[in-house]
Structure formats: structure tokens, C-alpha cells
Amino acid sequence: MNQLAIIIPAYKASFLAASLESITSQTCKDFTLYIGDDCSPYDLESIVKKHQDKINIVYKRFEANLGAKDLVAQWERCIDLNQGEEWLWLFSDDDIMAPNCVEDFYKTQKKHPEDKLFHFNINVINADGKLLHSSEQWPEHCTTKRYLDGKLSAKGFITYVVEFIIHRDIFFGAGRFQNYDLAWGSDFVSWVKFSNLNNGICTISDARISWRDSGENISPNHNSNIIYRKMKSVIRSVKFITDFAKIHHYGRPWFYGKYALGEIRRNRDILSKQQLSSLSDDYNQVNHFKFPLSFMSKILFRK
């Protein structure tokens, strides 16, 4: 049996063929590709069939759409298609991997056999596949604190789900993905807890993933109820992060808790005063650093 499961929760058709082409073109084909069709209105199966003679593919069309209601649950039911592979790689239906990604994963894993969480650096491409920009090279070994601090810094790490390969022992041992409403903050917090269990993240430095900024990613939704739910999820993620930072004696509770205020502030013109007041109360209940009410009012309510 192959050691690596590459898993695509599929729904969109626009770039699926390009994504599959990048996977079938891998210099090392020691993997099985699992595709979980989230009851898509598009004919994904016909696209998949064009690649089935090139690599080992397991295709499953689910009878009901789940991603619209619970995206994390859709990720996980696709992961559960695996057949016991040691390594799990949640990919996407529109991103691209360099031809040597799988090969370089195995090479890096062989050099660092104690590590069970690996990361690729990222290029960002547009709908036409044109390079928009490249992320900075990560350190060979990134501690959990460095990852967390980098994610919360103004010009820090920008990460996506598709750049991580995780050992099944870490994934299941940490309780799988953190599930927040609308999956808002779920991947960020999940990599924190996975990294903590692995004692950091190991970088695969010689190959990159191209994340596609296509305009078909999660669409901006300016409905106040949707934004309110997202901000609720952000506050829940702050609860996890500030608790985590306190347990590990990271200090600076204001640093680990303030980013939720920034998110709420950026969306305050969409939210009602009642929603803002509710979010303010929720935030102060979970955050370890208590901002004065006058400061909260200035940040959230004053234009």
C-alpha cells in the first residue's frame, strides 16, 4: 500500500483538470489520490476519469452536499476515505503542486524521520496560472510559537490548508480538525495544535505549492448575519489561542488576543450595534487581557 494519501474535497470544476494534471505529473507516484465529490452540480467524474489510467485514484460522489453547511465535516469525510495510509495531505480542486512535491516530501521525511508534520512554501497564482507573488521561505524547522507569532504578526506567515502533510498519528491524536462555524479559523488553530503535538513544523524547501487566487475561492459575503457568525468563530479561535499561549507561558496576552478586535473592526460597518455589543461581550469573556470598556468602545463603535 502507498504511504501517502492525497485527498481532494471537490466541488468546483473550473480548475480541477489542472489540479489533477499537476498530481498525475508527479515524479514520484507513491501515493493514492482520493477525491470526495461534494454532490457537485458539475460533472466532476468525467474530469476524473481522464486521469484514472495515470495514477491510483479513488473517487467517491457523496449523495448530499455537506460543505455548504459544515466545511470541516466535508474535509473530514473525505479524509475518512483513506485506506490507512501513514501520511495525509488535504489538497484542493483548484491548486497546483510542483512536479517534484511528492518526491521532495519523501526525501525530506527521510532526513527528518522524527517529524510528523511537514510544510511546503507557497506561490500565489491567478486564474490564468500567472505568478502573483511568492511567500517567504520558512525556516527548516518552525517552532509552534514561531508559527503562531508569525500568523498573528502584521507581515507574518500566510498559510493555506493545502501546504501541509500530516502523519495520521498526529491528525487523529490531536482530535482531527478544529471545527468552527463556517470553518473560520479552523485551519489556523488546527495547525497550532498539530504543531504542538509534533513539536514544530518541518519545511520541505525544494518544491512549492501554487495556491490559486481565482475569484472562485470562498466568495466575500457582506451579509451581516454571515459576518457575525464569522466573528463569533474568530472569538472562539482567540479563546483557544490565548489559552494555549497562557499554558505554554508565551506571555504578551494582549498580542495573542488582539487580532479578533482587528477582524471585528474591519467589519464593523456591516455589523449592527447590537451585533457589535454582543461580540464585545463575548470577546471580553474569553480573552485573558481585559481591555478597558472605553478602549473597546473606541475600537469597535467610533468611526
Q: What's the grid cell of residue 205?
A: 524547501
Evaluate the CA torsion angle 234, 240, 246, 250 in order and state its sign: negative
pTM: 0.91
Q: pLDDT-based confidence at 241, cuts 50/70/90?
A: very high
Do 15 and 93 form a contact (C-beta atoms < 8 A)? yes
- How far apart CA 180 and CA 85 sit, in angstroms, is 27
Of 7, 20, 14, 206, nearest to 96 by C-alpha is 20
User: Quick check: helix, strand or coil at residue 257?
Assistant: helix
Secondary structure letter of residue 293 according to DSSP: H
Instruction: For cell 511537514, name the residue.
Output: 118
Domain range summary for the chain, segments of one domain joined by +: 4-212, 224-300
Average pLDDT over residues 184-205: 96
Q: Quickly list H helices, the chain.
A: 16-24, 44-49, 71-79, 101-111, 144-152, 168-173, 186-198, 224-247, 253-257, 259-266, 273-286, 293-300
pLDDT in tens, 88-118: 999 999 999 999 999 999 999 999 999 999 9
pLDDT in tens, 255-297: 998 888 888 888 888 988 899 888 888 888 877 666 665 666 6
Do 164 and 88 form a contact (C-beta atoms < 8 A)? no
Rg (CA), the chain: 20
Q: Domain 4-212 belongs to what topology? A: Spore Coat Polysaccharide Biosynthesis Protein SpsA; Chain A (3.90.550)
Instruction: For cell 507513491, name the residue.
Output: 30
- How far apart CA 152 and CA 288 sit, in angstroms, is 16
